Copies of this chain bind each other. A is one copy, B any other.
Amino acid sequence: MKSELLKVLRQADDYVSGQQLCSRFGVSRTAVWKAIRQLQEAGYEIDAVNNRGYRFLSAPDLLTPEEIRSRLHTGFMGQNCICLESVDSTNNYVKKLAEDGAEEGTLVLAEEQTGGKGRRGRVWETPKGKNIAMSLLLRPKIHPAHASQLTLLMAMAVGEAIRSCTGLEAGIKWPNDVVVNGRKICGILTEMNTEVDYINYVVIGTGINVNQQEFPEELREIAGSLRQNLGKETGRAAIVAAGMDELERLYDIFRKTEDLSALKDDYNRCCVNRGHGIRVMERGEAYTGTTEGINDHGELVVRKDSGEEVLVYAGEVSVRGLYGYT
């Protein structure tokens, strides 16, 4: 009831009477009052006035299932939501849930990761209480060869969530880094368990630097946070929920064709590589060129300086701007 109660209060412009809440949830006035007390104790500011009722004032920066669910507008994405204080890696945690049969859309968040993973076993730091570390379970009925495109959907969803929650101009560095002002704000690690032609499950791990202020020396030119760009803290639950809302919308579109044909224009509009010179590094070879973005399958279409057009696949190569990270 608490997440529904929060939702009602948050959406109301004015006070909501205790009587309205009682009939809505079919409980006693005492039960409503108790739930309000618990929310206040958790850090929510809720004004209570005799004969007028309750009014939502502000929420603490909490990552709790209630806080996230009360902001969701999804059918399933993120609805089964688990928030942990500390975990080795949210991806590993969701993989275990997946093996035990957890449902599609299950979302796990952690205030801290002690063994967070980046791609190919690299480390991904999640300092306590500052950022978003989350992993989402999907069970798409698509061919395994098409699953890599889900990573691009998540990048699009996070970009949209950042834009709508903060007003910052979030772009995507192909294939799936979300960047603000030339610094990486979000990294995504997708892992799958598949049979030859069948996906058992996909886990999309997403790390978003929200309120972190300092980065290690070696990352300072590459990594950034929303806090650094905004000059103030941002609530994390709103970003999580907005991301889930947008991802569910994109996922529905994607599943119709199992490709990005209906989404590539939106992707390319956000793609920071588009229209700029890029350097592509393959094993032992590097070349420069330009790109207008991805094709229907998420591959980067690159025109080499020699005039030849080539398709670049995620991961087999590294793509950098000619000047700096993006």
The interface of chain A, by Cβ under 8 A from chain B, is 92, 99, 119-120, 143-145, 147-148, 151, 175, 189-198, 200, 313-316
> CA–CA, A94 to B103, complex, Å?
24
Can you name the residue of chain B whose Cβ is closest to the Cβ of A92? B99
Can you name the residue of chain B whose Cβ is closest to the Cβ of A145? B145
Q: How often does this chain occur in the complex, in copies?
A: 2
Please indicate the chain B residues that have their CB under 8 angstroms from the CB of A189 in the complex. 195
In the assembled complex, the CB of A27 is this many whole angstroms from the nearest CB of chain B, namely: 41
A151 touches B190 (CB 8 A): no
B119 touches A195 (CB 8 A): yes
In the assembled complex, the CB of A171 is this many whole angstroms from the nearest CB of chain B, namely: 20
Chain A interface mostly helix, strand, loop or mixed? mixed
In the assembled complex, the CB of A7 is this many whole angstroms from the nearest CB of chain B, namely: 35
19 A-B interface contacts by CB (under 8 A):
A92-B99, A119-B195, A119-B198, A143-B316, A148-B197, A151-B196, A175-B196, A190-B196, A191-B193, A192-B192, A192-B194, A192-B195, A194-B194, A196-B314, A196-B315, A197-B313, A197-B314, A197-B316, A198-B315
> CA–CA, A198 to B315, complex, Å?
8
Please indicate the chain B residues that have their CB under 8 angstroms from the CB of A99 in the complex. 92
In the assembled complex, the CB of A98 is this many whole angstroms from the nearest CB of chain B, namely: 11
> CA–CA, A194 to B315, complex, Å?
12
In the assembled complex, the CB of A252 is this many whole angstroms from the nearest CB of chain B, namely: 21
The 7 closest A-B pairs by CB, nearest first: A197-B315, A148-B196, A145-B145, A192-B194, A190-B196, A196-B314, A196-B315
Please indicate the chain B residues that have their CB under 8 angstroms from the CB of A151 in the complex. 196
> CA–CA, A147 to B195, complex, Å?
10
With A190-B195, A191-B193 known, 16 other A-B pairs at CB within 8 A are A119-B195, A120-B195, A143-B316, A144-B144, A145-B145, A147-B196, A175-B196, A190-B196, A191-B194, A191-B195, A191-B200, A192-B192, A192-B194, A192-B195, A193-B193, A197-B313
Can you name the residue of chain B whose Cβ is closest to the Cβ of A149? B196
- Also in contact, A120 and B198, with CB within 8 A (given A193-B191, A193-B193): yes
